[in-house]
Structure formats: structure tokens, C-alpha cells
A and B are shown apart, each in its own frame.
Chain A
Amino acid sequence: MNLGVLASRSLVRNRARTVLTALGVAVAVLTFVLLRTVLVSWTASVDAAVQDRIATRHKVTFVMTLPKHYAQDIGKIPGLGPSTYSNWFGAKDPNDENEFFATIAVDPVSFLEVYDEILVTPEDRKRWLENRRGALVGDMLAKKKGWKVGDVITLTGTIYPGDWQFEIAGLYTATRKSVDRSTLWFHWDYLNDALSDSRKDQIGWISTRVRDPSRAADISKAIDTTFDEMEVPTLTMSERAMNSSFLASFSAILTALDVVSMVILGIMTLILGNTIAMGTRERTGEFGIMRAIGFRPRHIAIIVLAEGLIIAALGGGLGLVIAYPFVEQGLGRWLEENMGGFFPFFDIAPETSAMALGLACVLGLFAAILPARRAARLNAIDAIRRIA
């Protein structure tokens, strides 16, 4: 009989406690996985951002626009691929004012060229390009709102006041999971033609592909230097840098989630340590007898450590088994459908599972260290006497 078997036998003795402890570990692992997944999927937009796309906007503030001729001027700068321009439209569904989805005015042909991760069927594409008030809608948004191709919808503008009619011309999906599939894109011309002279021919930002992604920073600088000579200075950043600066404004929340995910590990360690300590205390006499019949202190220590490891691994495994259906089927689908802008996809990363299970095992061992030392140091005579 080896020491591992001894350890598992002692765990079976107090079944209720072992099961409870494993459950405690499982809940902790589930929570840990959930929190890490929130963090990972929130920051996914940065990691998944296209490397070779840069955006140029007003230097001082995103609220202000650029003159439209900038979209042509930018083409003179060497090293650039295709470019397109857009305006943040900011409309709401009058029937549900609290709901958020992005509405953006784009130049359709160049938009689909620059944003090649947007997938549209040839029929939808044709229909959208031909219909001036046509809108291309993410399939997630269409499903949520119950919109079908051919529907005419009315949205209320916030930045551009008034009622605006759009006809759903097509749906899009995406080549990558990290792309938001709940945006409404429509013709920039449709917006521009309706504006008064003072607001006409203005664009929010220009997106441009660069041929060599490693030169993105240099090219961004070259663009800003060029426009510094003109009426409105610009700020050009890679899509990745822009996303990460957006995330930086939530950095405090991300840090808080990080800390909190560590707190649950602390709670788990306390539960584990408590269980192991109680188990060894109750078996003081047995350890004395084991010592008396020839077990060495390290044998005792190994038994106690093994108990910690086994129970943590059991609980951790159970936690993961619960976490997958819970996070990926239940909560994840809900978040993707309702908060797609924040969480374009919500899946447990393999590293997260490995980390959760690994940490549970390490902390199981860690929690057993003190009880193991105490048990190993017992003097056989004292230990036996204590129960006599």
C-alpha cells in the first residue's frame, strides 16, 4: 500500500467533509474561471485587433470631425493601402431608448475593402450598394431586434437629430469571433445629403490599411505631420493602440477584477487548509501509531500533502466540469447576444482552465504545508498519549 492510497483512504473516512471541501474548491474554481473569462474576453478586442489598420481622427477630441477632403489627401502618403471614412451616427431605436448598438455612416465600397473581416453574401452586398438608404446589419443585432431584409426601420438620431429611415439591405457575419456583430452600417452619402451646409462634408475618422504592419507607427506619424500643416491637426493610431487606450480607461475595473479573482483563491485556500488541519488533528493518535510502527516523519508529511493535492484536484476538476456548460452555454451566449459590444465572444480560454486547475493543486499543497509539518513533527509517544 503506498502513501497515496493511504491519503485517499483517509479522505474517504469523513466523506461528508471531503465532498463539502471539494464542492467549495469547485465553486471557487468556477468563480475564478468566470472572472478570468470576463477579463480575457474584455481585453480580447485588443489582442484580436487587426495589425495593419490605422485610424486617423481629430487630434483634440473624437467629438469633432475632419474635413472630407482629408480622405483623399491621405492617399498621397506613401506606404498606405486602401482607406475609407466613417461618421459615428449614434442613433437609438425610439421603442427602446436604453438599448445600445453602434450606428455608423460609411462609404460602402471602400468600407468592405478595408474591413475585409466583414462577411456579406454577394446578393446582400449588391442590394446594400444599390440602395442609398440601405443598412447593413450584424446578424446578432438583426436576431435580437427581429429585423429581416427588406424591413424599413426608423431610428432617432442623437448627434444628428430627427427621425431617420433605413431599409435593411443585408446582414453580415464575420471571419473572426472577436468582431462585433451588432452594428448597423449605412451610406455616408445618405447622411451627408440630409445635413445643413455647416455640417456637410465632415467625416469622423479615416481607416487605412498599411502595407507593412511593422511600419504602422512611422506611417501614423507621417500622416499626422502632413495634416499638421492643414486646418485641422489629426491623431493617428493603430487599431490596436486605440482599443488598448479605450481599455485603459477601464483599467481600474480590470485591476479590481484581477484582485477579486485572487481573493476567491484565498477563500479556497482557507477552506482547504481548514479541512486538512481538522483531519490531521483528529488523527493525531493514528499518526503516533504509524510513527511507532516505523513510518518516517516525511511519510506522514507526504500523506497529508497528498490529501491536500487530491482534494484540490478533485474539486478543481469538478469546478471545470461545471464551468464549461455554465459559462459557455448559459452566461456566455447571453452576454454575446446582449453585450456583444463589450464581449464579442465569451469562451473559456484553454489557458484559463489550465491556470485554474494548476492553481487549485498548488494551493491545495500549500494549504497542507502547515498541517503536514505539524503532523510530521509529532513525537510518537506524545501523540499516542494524547488520545489515551
Chain B
Amino acid sequence: MIPISYNVRSLAVRKATTVATALGIGLVVFVLASALMLAHGVQKTMGKSGQPENAIVMRKGSDSEMQSTIEDPLVGIILSASGVAQDASGKPVGTAEVVSVATMDKFGTDGVSNVQFRGVRDDVMSFRPEVSIIEGRMLSPGTDEVIVGKQVRGRFRGLDIGQSVDLRKNRPVRVVGVFAANGSSFESEVWGDLDTIRAGFGRMGNVSSVRVRLESPSKLDGFEAAVEQDKQLGLEVLREDVYYEKQSEGTSVFITAMGMVIAVFFSIGAMIGAMITMYAAVAGRTREIGTLRALGFSRFAILASFLLEASLLAVVGGVVGSLAALAMGAVKFSMMNFTSFSEITFSFTPTPEIVIGSVVFAILMGLLGGLFPAVRAARVSPVQAMRAG
């Protein structure tokens, strides 16, 4: 085999060309990796909101909590169904919540956007231990106080500590605290007392959903059967993490598909770039190739050597592109989630698979772009090559 150092030196000699081609590949990788990281960020943000040992009960046919309505008397029936865990005092562990959206003035744009509001009971923190107050204090039950997720805080008019928002006429709700929720989509919500939020959104006497902690994830089937058996109730049970997966599906599929389509188009351009560079490399080194052949290197060794050179070129681009995409981790991306019609803040979340996959994609581009030039190099006849030029 021809040593790699031969290829490395060849690339280093044609610095400008190498950099231009590698950068082209790098840009493609950057776009692809960023899109995949964002799609993963969407899944992760939504995924963290759900736990496998929790089940969520909604009205049958509802796409999201927001659309669902459960009359108050049913809440007790749901909580007492079999499979629901009980706390030390024998009370079922579960929480009935109301969810709605409010239109708010968004800073930094001249428009308005929707923010999700959740009415919770005072024991919400024990049901969701991952939620913690990071500034200010918890709302007091039965008052017009609310707490805001850290992702919406300060991004909308009235959503910061000490400020207030009118839900009902002349009945403002006051922000008293900011909470974090382990990066989940709750961080893009506003939480208030269940009755305050119900009154604000005209939802007296019903809730949006009931969540329960199961004794163990395997009790789901029993619980589901118990709740859904009475068709009159018209209820539907989903594992909480499955529910959130469904919530993020549309958005993450949209981003992934868009990223893939764009990357495929772009990669054609970058492959052509690599092809031009490699053709030039082969043409410029015809005598060298002839010499190598004369020294006894096989056609295959020449082919392999040029393919290797093309992939080296691509790896440089792939690594640069991936690094640039990793830097996107600092950027917050806020967009509407399709099912809830409210804005959620996502971040670009890298995984080893995405980074490795992007570099592999770069190498593929290099190999495909380098294939024809490498074949031409392998076909060089030593005698003619050394006679030429």
C-alpha cells in the first residue's frame, strides 16, 4: 500500500484547494448535524416531560391535553382505579390539571404568541420532584399567584417576578417565582392554582387531564382496562412518556425531514466540489502515478490511495462541520409546537450518534466524489504517463 503520509502531504501542498473543498463539505455537515441536533432537542425536551411510571388520562380522541375535558366527578373515579400508587397516608398519588393557552405580547417581535398555562394543585411538587423553584417562591394555594418556567420568563410581557397578567377582567395573576424542570417542556409554561386558572379560562367544574403514578410501569394495562372499560366515561389512558413522544412527533419529524432534504441537495454540491478537486489532483500528478506504478504499486493500491485522499479531505470537512454544529448548542431555538399551538423553547442537543453519523456522511461524500477520479488514476498507464509532460 502507498503510505498515508503521501496523501497527507499531497493535500498539504495544495492548501487553498484542500481548504475550499473541505469547507464545502464542512458546511453541508454543519447543516445536517444542526438539523438532527435540533430534532433530537425537540424529542428530548418533550421526552423529559413524561415518566414511564406515570399515566395520563384524557378524553378519548384528544390530540393534546389542551383539547381534553374531564368532568370533576370523574377525577375521583380515575384516582381510585386499580394500579395507582398510594402515598404513606394511603392517598392515591395523582394530580388533576387544567391546561390552556393565552396570547401574550412577545418581546423582540412586534407580534403575539401563545403561552401554555397549567392549573395545578398545591401537591404538584411532590408529583413532579424534578421541578424546583430557582427564584422567588412557590405560589400560595387559592391565590392569584403564578410561577413561570425559566424559558418563558422575561420573554413575554408581564412574565417576570413582580409583574402581572390579566387573565380575567381586572383579576390579574401575579408572578411570584421562577421554576426549572430539568429541561422539560414545563419550563415553557406558566403554572397557577387550579381554581384560579380554571376561572381564568372559563373551565369551572372540569379539568384537562388526570395524571397518576402507577405502582409500577407494568400496572399500566390493568389501570388502562379499569379506566377505559366504562365506555360511558369516554376516557383514554396513555403512558406519560408515550404521550409526550406523540406530542413532539410532528415537530421533530418536520425538522428531521427538512434537514435531510436540504442536506441531500447540499451534498450533491459538495460532492461535485470534491470531484473537481480530486480530478485536478489526479491530472496534476499523472507522472507521479506513473512512477508509482513503475515502482510496482498495483492499480488497486493507486485506487485505494486516491479514495483515501478523498476521504481524508472529507474527514477534515466533517470534523470542522460537526464542531461548528456543536457550537450551536449555545443557541436557544423557540418555535411553535404543532400539537399544542404554543411556543416551546428547544435547544440543539448533540448525541454521539449524530456527531459520528455526520462525519460518516462526510466520508461518504468524499468517497463518492473521489470515486471517478480514483478510477481514472488507477487506469493511468505507467509508460504513457512518464512519457507525457
Contact = CB atoms under 8 A, between A and B. Distances in A.
Interface stretch (A13-21, A107-115, A187-195, A356-364): A13-21
Contacts of B275: 20
Given A31-B265, A31-B266, A266-B27, A61 B103 contact: yes
A278 B21 CA distance: 12
Given A60-B201, A63-B66, A250-B336, A271 B273 contact: yes
B329 interface: no
Interface string A56-71: 0001111110000000
Contact of A249 (B113, B167, B269): B113
Interface string B7-32: 00000000011001101100110110
A267 B63 contact: no
A253 B61 contact: no
Interface residues of B, number: 56
B150 interface: no
A250 B335 contact: yes
B100 interface: yes
Nearest to B264: A31
A31 B266 CA distance: 8
Contacts of B343: 249
Contacts of A159: 67
A111 B84 CA distance: 50
Contacts of A241: 111
A21 B59 contact: no
B54 to A, nearest CB: 23
A35 interface: yes
A275 B265 contact: no
B276 A271 contact: yes
A233 interface: yes
Contact of A244 (B28, B63, B106, B111): B111
B273 A267 contact: yes
Given A17-B279, A60-B200, A248-B109, A271 B272 contact: yes
Interface in A24-44: 24, 27-28, 30-31, 34-35
Given A260-B31, A260-B262, A278-B280, A270 B273 contact: yes
Interface string A247-289: 1111111001000100110111011011101100010000000
A386 to B, nearest CB: 14
Nearest to B103: A61
Nearest to B346: A252
Interface in B91-115: 100-103, 106, 109-114
A278 B283 CA distance: 11
Contact of A61 (B67, B101, B111): B101
A270 B109 contact: no
A228 B170 CA distance: 11
A187 B166 CA distance: 34
B62 interface: yes
Q: Which of A63, A244, A251 has most chain B Cβ within 10 Å?
A: A63
Interface string B187-209: 00000000000001110000000
Contacts of A90: 67
Contacts of A247: 111
Contacts of B265: 27, 30-31, 34, 264
B270 interface: yes
Nearest to A282: B284
B297 interface: no
Contacts of B24: 267, 270-271, 274
Contacts of A282: 284
A156 B335 contact: no
Contacts of A225: none
A244 B113 CA distance: 10
A80 interface: no
A161 interface: yes
B333 A252 contact: yes
Lowest 8 A-B CB distances belong to which pairs? Answer: A245-B111, A248-B111, A249-B336, A24-B272, A274-B20, A31-B265, A271-B273, A270-B24
Interface of A: 16-17, 20-21, 23-24, 27-28, 30-31, 34-35, 59-64, 90, 92, 156-159, 161, 228, 233, 235, 241, 244-245, 247-253, 256, 260, 263-264, 266-268, 270-271, 273-275, 277-278, 282
18 contacts: A17-B280, A23-B272, A24-B276, A60-B167, A61-B103, A62-B341, A90-B67, A156-B61, A244-B111, A256-B333, A263-B27, A264-B265, A267-B270, A267-B273, A270-B21, A270-B23, A271-B20, A271-B276
Interface of B: 16-17, 20-21, 23-24, 27-28, 30-31, 59-63, 66-67, 100-103, 106, 109-114, 166-169, 200-202, 234, 262, 265-266, 268-270, 272-273, 275-277, 279-280, 284, 333-336, 341, 343
